Chain A
Amino acid sequence: GAGVSQSPSNKVTEKGKDVELRCDPISGHTALYWYRQSLGQGLEFLIYFQGNSAPDKSGLPSDRFSAERTGGSVSTLTIQRTQQEDSAVYLCASSFAPGAASNYGYTFGSGTRLTVV
């Protein structure tokens, strides 16, 4: 597609439920990031996928958070047993990155606003 697509755009879930957030990067982009933005806060790095390399999960806040990227394209961020503090906007970005030393810019999706009630 022309841009990074995220779905759903909004998600309201009950505390304790699992949620899945989807990101469709720009075709051909090999690098994919997930960020979280809480109300009034800056962007918090969650996870980074680069090609076929093992993902960098060092930003995931707890073991309730996991992410996959299938076939080097679509990525899914899963939050298990959601808590109210998980409420935030989850942003996905992709970049053309033929290698880790790439200096291309990033394109962001519109985000998924998650509300845990």
Chain B
Amino acid sequence: KQEVTQIPAALSVPEGENLVLNCSFTDSAIYNLQWFRQDPGKGLTSLLLIQSSQREQTSGRLNASLDKSSGRSTLYIAASQPGDSATYLCAVKLPGNYGGSQGNLIFGKGTKLSVKP
């Protein structure tokens, strides 16, 4: 059974700091890994998608890396801003329908980020 773990569960930083969010998964047989952002009471906004053959993806102040063999991904946020405050979720896509009741897109429980002005 694939398990996705995100550490830390919550993080509070002052504005301007660079920070790293961690995501780990137990089975390296993934198609891709996607980072999402969720604001309170809202749906999920896709931030970055990394294919299994890629090592990293960048978008603006965000950089996501993937080390499939070790089952890890990091989301790096540069020069954090109060507007970055949200819950960040990572999800791995598995081949076929892995594990039945899990579906084939497995989510971590998220890291709740708070950036203080």
Which residues of chain A have a CB within 8 Å of any CB of chain B? 4, 6, 33, 41-43, 45, 48, 56, 58-59, 89, 91, 93, 100-103, 105-111, 113
Contacts and interface: CB of A to CB of B under 8 A. Distances in A.
21 contacts: A4-B43, A41-B109, A42-B108, A42-B110, A45-B101, A45-B102, A45-B103, A45-B105, A48-B104, A56-B100, A58-B101, A59-B103, A91-B44, A93-B44, A103-B52, A103-B93, A106-B105, A107-B46, A108-B44, A108-B45, A108-B46
Contacts, number: 65
A43 B34 CA distance: 14
Given A105-B32, A110-B42, A56 B49 contact: no
A115 to B, nearest CB: 12
B95 interface: yes
Interface of B: 31-32, 34, 36, 41-46, 49, 51-52, 89, 91, 93, 95-97, 100-105, 107-110
Contacts of A89: 41
Contacts of A108: 36, 43-46
A91 B52 CA distance: 25
A106 B41 contact: no
A89 B51 CA distance: 28
B46 A106 contact: yes
B24 to A, nearest CB: 15
Given A42-B110, A45-B105, A106-B34, A91 B96 contact: no
Contact of B49 (A100, A101, A105, A111): A105
- Count chain B CB atoms within 10 A of each CB in A41, A42, A105 and give the residue with the most: A105
B109 A42 contact: yes
